[in-house]
Amino acid sequence: NAGVTQTPKFQVLKTGQSMTLQCAQDMNHEYMSWYRQDPGMGLRLIHYSVGAGITDQGEVPNGYNVSRSTTEDFPLRLLSAAPSQTSVYFCASSGDRLAGGGDEQFFGPGTRLTVL
């Protein structure tokens, strides 16, 4: 199993550009999520999904869109990048055996995004 994979590993954007961060998992997990990690702020939840076709907002959703058309994939879209979105982005998944969360989350390696 590859686990949770993220592409790209690094990305530099100019303000106003759009891009999609890719996330895929091969563990047949129902729950997937996106976090951003900023210095001194820990990880903050952006969006999450409890299954194909179902998504919901986390703590910091503004400026980001998600969709979940398959169990395996959960892309994160930045429609118009801003310098405030400079961060490290992590995708995670879990088996969702417990309603509402509680299972171990498996994390991807992260994407370091810089917006100039």
The residues binding another protein (CB under 8 A) are 31, 33, 35, 40-45, 48, 50, 56, 58-59, 88, 90, 92, 98-102, 104-105, 107, 109-110
Beta 87-94 vs 106-107: how paired, if at all? Answer: antiparallel
- The three-class DSSP label of residue 58 is coil
Q: What are phi and psi of 18, to 5 degrees?
A: -115, 155
Minimum CB separation of residue 80 from another protein in Å reads: 26
Q: Is the peptide bond before 8 cis (omega within 30 degrees of 0)?
A: yes
Q: Which is nearer to another protein, 16 or 53 (CB)?
A: 53
Q: How far apart, in whole angstroms, are the C-alpha atoms of residue 115 and residue 15?
A: 6
Minimum CB separation of residue 116 from another protein in Å reads: 22
Minimum CB separation of residue 35 from another protein in Å reads: 8
Minimum CB separation of residue 15 from another protein in Å reads: 25
Q: Which residues contact 15 (CB under 8 A, 6 or more apart)?
A: 81, 82, 83, 115, 116
Q: Which is nearer to another protein, 14 or 100 (CB)?
A: 100
Q: Which is nearer to another protein, 9 or 18 (CB)?
A: 9
Q: Which is nearer to another protein, 85 or 105 (CB)?
A: 105
